[in-house]
């Protein structure tokens, strides 16, 4: 039994990554694992307001993950969902190794050079640490729409 | 028929890239196209290397120790700017996936993939499969929170 790991951040563009992951799992007849890592800042969690926000975000993530799992099952793919709190890069690398994943499916956001220098990208860090192939699904601006559309989607 | 485009530059990672591409092609029942974008002065040298790699398509014994079935495929040698040619060929062949290797920049702070792969990812019409150059990684533990308590399985 082979596994495909699909780490998702549940932001815009996730639908395309999920779609490609399901398509690949269908073709190679592998099990699909949706992984969502909640990066929980320790200091922020101490204040009540932040803790409440984090709890609400985790609840939403849980629901969205189950929806993704259901959509994969509907398309005839054996899917599992996993929600973990911790460092996203470390968790993705750890889960890939633990499940002996055939490959990892990740989205590539088109950040600018300054963003990558200051904040970095999860994909880049994962690529340096895993030994299995990584399927990179480009999430370009054309898919996300204009900035106005994106902000409208976030705050309708 | 689904096409898997495999740009190769004959670096250390190339055999791994071709082997993984052959595996995916075999599973999805498509055809694998090896593409080498070369320079005029390197044509002859690279042509010999490309012929060696064609063994992944024809199923030569040295490249296929597990005796897997040969895959349908082709090989191309083109001149030009690598990223631009790879993207043009991906469009022309309506490639389902592009399979490429990463460079060996594991311990540096820069990007994990080379300039050609970066440009291909930015302009690719399909998903790009990146095969790492190294086979073994230093075992890393997950963050403490996970070891204590998995939230949902």
Percent of chain B residues past pLDDT 90, beyond the cut: 24
> Region B83-111: what's the mean pLDDT?
84
Please tell me the predicted confidence (pLDDT) of residue B61: 64
pLDDT at B137 (0 to 100): 57
Length of chain A: 156
- Cα-to-chain-centroid distance, residue A14: 7
- The answer to whether residue B9 scores a pLDDT higher than 70 is yes
Cα-to-chain-centroid distance, residue A77: 18
Whether residue B137 contacts residue A130, with contact meaning beta carbons closer than 8 Å, is answered with yes
pLDDT band at B108 (very low <50, low <70, confident <90, very high): low
Alpha carbons B39 and B77: distance in angstroms, whole number: 10
Q: Which residues of A touch B133 (CB under 8 A)?
A: none
The reported pLDDT for the residue numbered A134 is 93
pLDDT tops 80 at residue A140: no
Going by pLDDT thresholds of 50, 70 and 90, the confidence category of residue A147 is very low
pLDDT at residue A118 tops 80: no
pLDDT (average), residues A107-120: 66
> In this predicted structure, what is the pLDDT of residue A142?
44
A135 to B97: CB separation less than 8 angstroms, yes or no? yes
Asked whether this complex has an ipTM greater than 0.90, the answer is no
Band of the pLDDT at B151, cuts 50, 70, 90? very low
| Nearest CA among B32, B35, B34 for reference residue B69 | B32
SS3 label, residue A84: strand
Q: Which two tokens stand for residue A36?
A: 């969502």
- A90 and B143 within 8 Å at the Cβ level: the answer is yes
pLDDT at A104: 95
d(CA B98, CA B122): 13
Select from A94, A102, A123 the least CA-distant residue to A5.
Answer: A102
Q: Flag if B128 and A135 touch (Cβ within 8 Å).
A: yes
Residues of A in contact with B112 (CB under 8 A): 124-125, 127-128
Tokens of B110: 């820069």
- Alpha carbon distance A17, B45 (integer Å): 39
- DSSP secondary structure string, A11-33? STTHHHHHHHHHHHHHHHT-EEE
User: Is it the case that residue A35 has pLDDT exceeding 90?
Assistant: yes
pLDDT the model gives residue A114 = 61
Task: Spell out the long-range contacts of A112-118 with Cβ–Cβ below 8 A and sequence spacing 24 or more.
Answer: A116/B111
Confidence of residue B39 (pLDDT cuts 50, 70, 90): confident
Is residue A43 very low, low, confident or very high in pLDDT (cuts 50, 70, 90)? low
Give me A62's structure tokens.
């849980």
Mean pLDDT, range A133-149, rounded to an integer: 64
Q: Are the beta carbons of B1 and B31 closer than 8 angstroms?
A: yes
Handedness of CA B75, B24, A19, B7 (dihedral sign): negative
Instruction: Give which of A19, A26, A32, A12 is closest to A102, Cα–Cα.
Output: A32
CA distance A63 to chain B (A): 11
pLDDT at A46: 65
């Amino acid at each position: 039994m082979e596994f495909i790991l699909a780490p998702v951040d549940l932001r815009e563009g996730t639908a395309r990554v999920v779609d490609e992951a399901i398509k690949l799992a269908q073709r190679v007849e592998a099990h699909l694992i949706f992984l969502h890592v909640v990066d929980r800042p320790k200091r922020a969690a101490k204040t009540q307001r932040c803790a409440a926000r984090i709890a609400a975000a985790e609840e939403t993530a849980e629901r969205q993950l189950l929806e993704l799992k259901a959509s994969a099952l509907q398309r005839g793919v054996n899917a599992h969902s996993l929600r973990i709190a911790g460092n996203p890069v470390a968790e993705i690398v750890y889960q890939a190794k633990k499940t002996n994943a055939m490959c990892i499916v990740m989205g590539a956001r088109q950040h600018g050079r300054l963003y990558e220098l200051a904040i970095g990208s999860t994909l880049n860090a994962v690529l340096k640490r895993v030994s299995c192939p990584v399927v990179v699904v480009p999430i370009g601006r054309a898919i996300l729409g204009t900035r106005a559309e994106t902000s409208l989607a976030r705050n309708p | 028929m689904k096409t898997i485009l495999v740009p190769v530059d004959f670096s250390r990672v190339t055999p791994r890239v071709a082997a993984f591409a052959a595996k995916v092609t075999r599973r999805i029942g498509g055809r694998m196209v090896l593409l080498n974008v070369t320079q005029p002065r390197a044509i002859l040298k690279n042509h010999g290397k490309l012929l060696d790699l064609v063994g992944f398509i024809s199923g030569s014994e040295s490249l296929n120790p597990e005796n897997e079935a040969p895959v349908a495929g082709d090989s191309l040698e083109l001149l030009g700017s690598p990223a631009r040619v790879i993207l043009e060929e991906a469009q022309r062949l309506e490639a389902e996936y592009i399979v490429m290797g990463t460079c060996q920049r594991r311990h540096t702070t820069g990007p994990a993939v080379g300039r050609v792969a970066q440009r291909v990812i930015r302009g690719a019409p399909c998903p790009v499969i990146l095969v790492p150059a190294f086979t073994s990684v230093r075992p890393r533990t997950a963050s403490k929170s996970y070891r204590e308590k998995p939230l949902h399985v």
